[in-house]
Amino acid sequence: MDNKVYVKRNPLAYYRYNTPEHLPYIQWKLVSKGVAYNMVHSKQIGWERAKKGEYEDWCVRMEKLRKENLL
């Protein structure tokens, strides 16, 4: 069983992750489950535990966004 999970935060607008213009600003951290619990329930505003596969989906969307901006 994996002991590490991703937590995410959007410093522009907390708890909004699907807006395309906010996509590059989402912050990710790979931390242990205990640290993730403390980050989510502490006074650090905006941290949320990511669902399984959400980081990989974000990477795909960022790659697509980068390709669109290069053209």
For residue range 20-69, list pLDDT tens digits in order: 888 889 999 999 999 999 988 987 788 999 999 999 999 999 999 888 88
The pLDDT of residue 43: 77
> What is the domain range of residue 57?
4-70
Print burial letters for 16-30: b (CB count within 10 Å at least 16), e (below 16).
Answer: ebeeeeeeeebeeee
* CB of 30 closer than 8 Å to CB of 6: yes
The pLDDT of residue 71: 52
pLDDT of 1 > 60? The answer is no
Eight-state DSSP code of residue 47 = -
Quote the number of domains for the chain. 1
pTM of the model: 0.80
Q: At 6, is the pLDDT very low, low, confident or very high (cuts 50, 70, 90)?
A: very high
Q: How far is CA 31 from the centre of its chain?
A: 12
